[in-house]
């Protein structure tokens, strides 16, 4: 969904396309690191607790750009979304 919004986002934040692509890359990188970690945590503490923790992280990440309307806020939000949504995956 963000791919079609990169141009307007970069215009609103006053950044170039080379920085805007980090909004996509950061989520993928955070997810790649967090998925096995969240799976291991789910095995240790229980999948329900980790899933709920992840959803709280996603809620915070969704609200963050409202309070930090900058490129850094958007980037941190995308990283937190990657981490939070990774809680839905369980290691087997």
Q: Which tens digit of pLDDT belongs to each residue from 47-92?
A: 899 999 999 999 999 999 889 888 899 899 999 999 999 998 665 5
What spatial distance separates the first Cα and last Cα of the chain, rounded to whole Å? 29
* Alpha carbon 10 to chain centroid, angstroms: 18
Which two tokens mark 47? 């999948």
pLDDT tens digit sequence for 8-46? 888 888 888 888 888 889 989 999 999 999 989 998 999
- The number of beta carbons lying within 10 Å of the beta carbon of residue 74 is 22
Amino acid 30: pLDDT:
95
Amino acid 1: pLDDT:
66
């Amino acid at each position: 969904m963000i791919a079609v919004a990169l141009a307007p986002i970069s215009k609103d934040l006053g950044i170039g396309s080379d920085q805007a692509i980090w909004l996509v890359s950061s989520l993928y990188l955070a997810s790649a690191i967090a998925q096995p970690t969240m799976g291991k945590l789910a095995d240790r503490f229980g999948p329900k607790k980790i899933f709920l923790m992840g959803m709280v992280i996603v809620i915070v990440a969704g609200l963050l750009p409202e309070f930090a309307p900058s490129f850094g806020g958007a980037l941190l939000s995308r990283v937190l979304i990657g981490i939070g949504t990774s809680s839905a995956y369980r290691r087997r």
